[in-house]
Amino acid sequence: MRTLDRYLLGEGLKALLLALTVLTSVFVLVDLLNNVGRYLQAGAGLSDVALYYLLLVPKVLPEVTWASVLLACVLSLGTLTRQNEVLAMRMGHWSTLRIAAPLLLLGLLVCGGLWAVTEWLAPRTTTLALDLSETRLGKTSKYRRTRENDIWYRAGEETLLHIGILQGAEGILRDVTVFRLTPAFALVERVDAPVARWEGEGAGWVLERAMVRSFTNGRLAGVRRTARYPLALTEGPEDFKRIEKDPAEMGFQELRRHIERLLASGANVRRILADLHAKPARAVLPVLMALIGVAAALRVGRRGLIVSLAACILVAFLYWLAFSLSLPLGRGEVLPPWLAAWLPNAVFGTAGLVALLRSR
């Protein structure tokens, strides 16, 4: 790697670290201000709060990294343009693509690092953060999610509910097991059913094709099957929807396994296929934003810092708007899931490449 390549890469890396620090700090500060009252009420220590937000950083990174790469490329290359260093490179017979190459390499390296964070690091640190929140920060929960995303739910003092697959938005619980206990936690009844459906405020939840086992003094006393078994729960679909893990919080492999489980249970998965395709589409965003950032820097770099920042904000907003409009079309089966996920990338990537090639 040439000295000039290392120089461009170093300038981009410094700007990237600064942008990541600022954007991540803004997120943490906003969340802290929203929850500081709860932390004080729970008597949480400063070290606990700091550790909690440190554990949340890997979860935040995918949301801020793509914008940070865009900002880093515009600021670093824009500064070099205003200082006539880019002009000197051109006089040395460096083409536009040759100038852009180190920053595009930086975007590609960020893509690989971000994929590792979202697939391996973020799920583990987020789980630790949730455990810390429940034990030390005053946020108790009635449920516990396992590694396979099935849920143990405490529905009252004497009822424990295990849910294999939760579809709160559709009002469906799959692979349900209900344990009814005595105050001494002795098992009285166990009910297993493949599906529980919400049938409205009057009927509530109903288990379908349920197997009911009764116990006396810890021993099986009887077994019966029933097509419909009313499940007395005060919680409705909206309550379960709040604890349902969003596809955006899952890694690619985790979401793929979740879809396989849904398919095995007979559920319709077309709604979340777009979210699966969106994982790799979002993973390549850093290199795409590097391309757009370099093109923007070469075009507006001489016009000042304010213009460069405005260009970053405009591009980030337009991409966010395009993605926010496209993905629901895939979820609603208006567009094929893969097209809905990749269409914003294709549009902005093409626009960035054209703008870069036209830069002089």
Cα 225 to Cα 211: distance, rounded to the nearest angstrom: 5
Confidence class of residue 288 from pLDDT cuts 50, 70 and 90? Answer: very high
Tell me how far CA of residue 350 lies from CA of 288, 295, 329, 355, in angstroms.
10, 12, 21, 9
Domain locations in the chain as residue ranges: 3-139+265-357, 150-244
What percent of the chain is modeled with pLDDT above 90? 31
Confidence class of residue 148 from pLDDT cuts 50, 70 and 90? Answer: low
Confidence class of residue 142 from pLDDT cuts 50, 70 and 90? Answer: low
Cα 220 to Cα 209: distance, rounded to the nearest angstrom: 20
Q: Look at residue 147 and tell me whether its pLDDT is greater than 60.
A: no
pLDDT for res 195:
92
pLDDT for res 139:
57
pLDDT for res 286:
93
222-231, 244-253, 275-284: least confident range? 244-253
Confidence class of residue 143 from pLDDT cuts 50, 70 and 90? Answer: low
Q: Write down the mean pLDDT value for the chain.
A: 84
Mean pLDDT of 275-296: 91
| Residue 281 backbone class (left: φ over 0; alpha: ψ -120 to 50; beta: rest) | alpha
> Sheet holding 151-154: strands in order across?
143-145, 151-154, 159-167, 172-181, 187-198, 205-216, 219-231
pLDDT digits (tens, 9 = 90+) for 170-200: 888 889 999 988 887 888 899 999 999 998 8
pTM: 0.78
Mean pLDDT of 3-7: 84
pLDDT for res 244:
72
2-6, 27-31, 280-284, 290-294: least confident range? 2-6
Confidence class of residue 276 from pLDDT cuts 50, 70 and 90? Answer: very high
Confidence class of residue 339 from pLDDT cuts 50, 70 and 90? Answer: very high
Mean pLDDT of 65-88: 85
pLDDT for res 313:
83
